[in-house]
Amino acid sequence: MLKTIIEEALNKQVVVEAQSSQVYLSMASWAETQGFEGVAQFMYAQSDEERMHMLKLVKFINERGGHAKVSALTTPPESFGSFKEMFQELLNHEIAVSESINSLVDISLQEKDYATHNFLQWYVAEQIEEEALARTILDKINLIGDDKGGFYLFDNDIKQLIPTDTLEP
Ligand code: OFO
């Protein structure tokens, strides 16, 4: 049975993951309207991944005898300036998510909830990967600079970075 303090903290993380999915969906839609199909596909896949992170939490909370709640979300921005700014925003967002996961890990240790602590290790590993991926993409964008041809190639290359389990049929 989950302690209330853990249940509430996990439910807060449900909102964080749902909000991430919502922000990345808006990034995907914006990229699509700019004609960048590869970036759009990548961001749609990121949005799907975040929804999967949210669902994993929902299932865990309910399996442990708690009640996963579904909350209202904040409207994300509609446009993101440039792709460099957009991916910088993605990196900042992932860093904030990592901090939120770390504080959940802290609470699970304080409360001696080792099952939750063990469950959260998957998220700790996932955040390392996601931050690294965002940094790799930003490095590429910085290398391209203002080169339009380079950006065209980047739009194609970024499709290789889409995790295969999130590709649409
Ligand atoms: Fe990348 O945020 Fe989920 O965990």
pTM for this predicted structure = 0.94
Instruction: Give pLDDT tens digits for 7-57.
Output: 999 999 999 999 999 999 999 999 999 999 999 999 999 999 999 999 999
The CATH architecture that domain 4-70+78-162 belongs to is Up-down Bundle (1.20)
The kind and range of the H/E element at 21 are helix 4-33
| Other Cβ atoms closer than 10 A to 1 | 7
Residue 149 has pLDDT above 90, yes or no: no
CA Rg value for the chain? 17
Task: State in Å: Cα 104 to ligand 1 middle.
Answer: 13
* pLDDT(169) > 50: no
Model confidence at 162: pLDDT above 90: no
Ligand 1 centroid to Cα of residue 89, in Å, is 14
Rounded-to-integer distance, Cα 16 and Cα 1, Å: 23
Kindly list the protein residues whose Cβ atom lies closer than 6 A to any atom of ligand 1. 17, 20, 50, 53, 94, 97, 123, 126-127, 130
- In the chain, domain spans: 4-70+78-162
